[in-house]
Amino acid sequence: MPFVEIEGKQVEVDEDGFMTDPAAWFEACAYYFAKGEGIEQLTDDHWKVINYLKEYYATNGIAPMIRKLCKETGIPLKEIYELFPSGPAKGACKLGGLPKPTGCV
Amino acid sequence: MSTETAKGLRQPKRANEKLFRTLGIEPVPDEKKVEEAIRHLDDFRNKLRSFVVTMENCVKCGLCADNCHTYLGTKDPNNIPAGRADLIRKAYKRYFTPQGKLFGPLVGAEELTLETLEKWYSYFYQCSECRRCSHTCPFGLDTAEITMVGRQILFWLGIGPQLHTATAGAILKTGNHMGLTKAGIIDTLEFLAEEIEEDRNGLKVEFPTDKPDSDILYIPSSADFMLNPNTLKGAGMFFKWVGANWTMSSRITEAGNFGYLMDQTRIQREMVTRLYEECTTLGIKKIVWGECGHGWRAAKMYVASYSDLPGVAKIPMTHIHDEVAALIESGQLDLDPTRNSQKITLHDPCNYVRACGLCDQMRVIMRAVTSDFVEMTPNRERNFCCGGGSGVLFDDPAMYEYRILASNKKAEQVRETEAEVLCAPCSICKAQLYPMVKEHKLPVEVVGLIDLVGHALVFPEE
Ligand code: SF4
Ligand code: SF4
Ligand code: SF4
């Protein structure tokens, strides 16, 4: 598996550049992956989404249904796509250190 | 090797060796790959009559070319169904026919090389296994079967897309493609029940999971838990309306079967084994399948022959569309079609109409639950694939571009109907059509069929 260097630490990622171990995430990871996604700045709304994803994942071991994400963060889907151009399931998960969703997405 | 380095071939990002090892596959070193592939081809030709028939009989009439959406979209001759099958056929001739052994290229025979295997990887993952070619071919030659042989051999060699291989990993771990956990499943279902209660005037719908002594086991697509909530809700409302004693199972929350799309042995069998174990545990009398094209084909056509448990193989299995259509025809559902009054068209999932005989049922439902239904052309068994079939839902740039090209024909069909809503009752179709309508700038909303049923069902307590 490939590794990337974030703030001097070696972080393992999969073939799609997603972290393989969500527990190894630290804040600088979000900034690092944001760059790759073409996201210039992380706003409060970005963090709201990322934090909710991480929290949900920690409890449930999976990313939430997209509609639930919108409802709980109060950010409509359209705006989530503006925040994370490759979408909530892919872009936002990547920044939060969640694994890439598999299957029919 | 990645997309960029494989000699100008369009290829999906591939899984690494570590991932293959978690599936029990030790990747074959390059110097052994060709030899191994030939050995597997030899096995297939001894086992699989459909393979031999397709290898021996193509007359290169060219009829299949304009009937394959991948060729229409890319104009790449290797995407002509006969061209795709030729990637194996040339080797078949070279090693297994007397003329090929003697005259080689003169009779279209060619040595198998690593380069050809790279082409297999490229073109067998551009085929959606939609079978439109076999419907057109005067001999009924089925290139989808050849694609399956090609993908299976590649899998055994340790070559496969990251997407399919990682999904296979999720299957072994959780019994579903998305890697849904029981906690996630229950939380999502509670959320959906709340949504229904809010939207439908306090209507209470239960979504039982792992409930013992259930009569019906409903098998949803795991993607419905992430992307298609209305399909799940529709199913829940339908079962409530008919008063079914039903459940879902957290051990097999998956209507699809990526094993069928890549490894029709170990991975495909895993799903079947789980299915039957759960039927036994929960006392199931009938299995009802959710919206998933390839998954319904894998279930309807392959499950019985994959089951090692002959007793449970007798449990009847139907598709939720069969159930709904039958009750509509016998006048047992109270439906209000004006609740779905937008102009709506239906995309026929290839696997339903060309591999499962599920076709008229969708029309029975459409006419009963919508008020402005318009067919696209061509339709039914002549319909074109959405371009995402067999899980070619890749998002690396070259393959994403391919997906959109492969959906040109579908976009044209949808545009001609001037519909506002596009009903696509298959999870892969949905996952393909959400971005497809955006890229082709089609002003339509993509929905499932059971979504519409749920919306149209009239409950006395509402
Ligand atoms: S239609 Fe059939 S016989 Fe004709 S080229 Fe295609 S596969 Fe071959
Ligand atoms: S199965 Fe479908 S995608 Fe594959 S070659 Fe035939 S028509 Fe083309
Ligand atoms: S994804 Fe849908 S349209 Fe495409 S092959 Fe499967 S069933 Fe057909």
Q: Which residues of A touch B183 (CB under 8 A)?
A: 59-62
pLDDT score recorded for residue A89: 87
| Residues of A in Cβ contact (< 8 Å) with B267 | none
Q: What is the ipTM of this complex?
A: 0.94
Question: Which residues are paired to A19 by β-bridges?
Answer: A13
| Ligand at shortest distance from the CA of B426 | 3
Cα B414 to ligand 3 centroid, rounded to whole Å? 15
Q: Which of A66, A68, A78, A102 to mutate to test the interface with B (most CBs of B within 10 A)?
A: A102
> What is the reported pLDDT for A1?
66
Q: Rounded distance, CA B267 to CA B258, Å?
A: 8
pLDDT band at B1 (very low <50, low <70, confident <90, very high): very low
What pLDDT does residue B244 have? 98
Cα torsion through B260, B263, B267, B271, rounded to 10:
10
pLDDT in tens, B386-424: 999 999 999 999 999 999 999 999 999 999 999 999 999
A92 vs chain B: nearest CA distance in angstroms?
Answer: 14
Which ligand has the nearest atom to the CA of B151?
Answer: 2
Q: How far is ligand 1, taken at its centre, from the CA of residue B135, in Å?
A: 11
pLDDT in tens, B435-455: 999 999 999 999 999 999 999
What are the b/e assignments for A34-66, b being 16+ CB within 10 Å?
Answer: beeeebeeeeeebebbbebbbebbeebebbbbb
- Report the pLDDT value the prediction gives residue B125, as an integer from 0 to 100: 98
Instruction: Please tell me the pTM assigned to this model.
Output: 0.95
Catalytic position from the list A29, A70, A93, A104 = A104
Task: Say whether A15 and B222 touch across the interface (CB within 8 A).
Answer: no
A90: nearest CB among B166, B229, B395:
B395
Asked if the model's pLDDT at residue B182 lies above 80, the reply is yes
Amino acid at B61: C
Compute the distance between CA of residue A10 and CA of residue A4 in angstroms, rounded to an integer: 6
Question: Could you give the C-alpha distances from B287 to B44, B186, B278, B297, B355, in angstroms and in order?
Answer: 32, 20, 11, 14, 19
Query: What is the rounded average pLDDT for all residues in chain B?
Result: 96
Domains of chain B: 2-160 (1.10.1060), 168-327 (no CATH), 334-456 (3.40.50.1860)
Mean pLDDT across the stretch B185-201?
A: 97
pLDDT (tens digit per residue) in B46-83: 999 999 999 999 999 999 999 999 999 999 999 999 99
Per-residue pLDDT reduced to its tens digit, B204-218? 999 999 999 999 999
Measure in Å the smallest separation between the Cα of B300 and chain A Cα atoms.
20
Q: B4-18, B253-267, B273-287: which has the minimum mean pLDDT? A: B4-18
Looking at residue B6, what is its pLDDT? 59
Contacts of B425 in chain A (CB under 8 A): none
Pocket test for ligand 2, best of B131, B146, B403 (most atoms within 8 A of CB): B131
Burial class (CB in 10 A: 0-12, 13-18, 19+), B49: exposed
Nearest ligand (C-alpha, residue B82): 1
B127 touches ligand 2 (CB under 6 Å) = yes
Please report the pLDDT score of residue B314 as a whole number.
Answer: 85
Averaged pLDDT, B271-289: 95
> How confident is the model at residue B307, as a pLDDT?
79
Q: For residues A18 and A94, is the Cβ–Cβ distance under 8 A?
A: yes
* Ligand 3, CB cutoff 6 Å, lining residues: B 128, 130, 293-294, 349-351, 385-386, 388-389, 426, 428-429
User: For residues B112 and B38, is the Cβ–Cβ distance under 8 A?
Assistant: yes
Any CB–CB contact under 8 A between A41 and chain B? no
Q: Classify residue B201 by its DSSP letter.
A: T
Q: Which residues contact B345 (CB under 8 A, 6 or more apart)?
A: B373, B374, B375, B376, B414, B417, B419, B421, B422, B423
Task: Please report, as a single letter, which amino acid is at residue B322.
Answer: D
Cβ(B58) – ligand 1 distance below 6 Å: yes
Q: Return the structure tokens found at B65.
A: 């070319």
- Give the max Cα distance, chain A: 37
Query: For the domain A3-95, what is the CATH code?
Result: 1.10.10.370
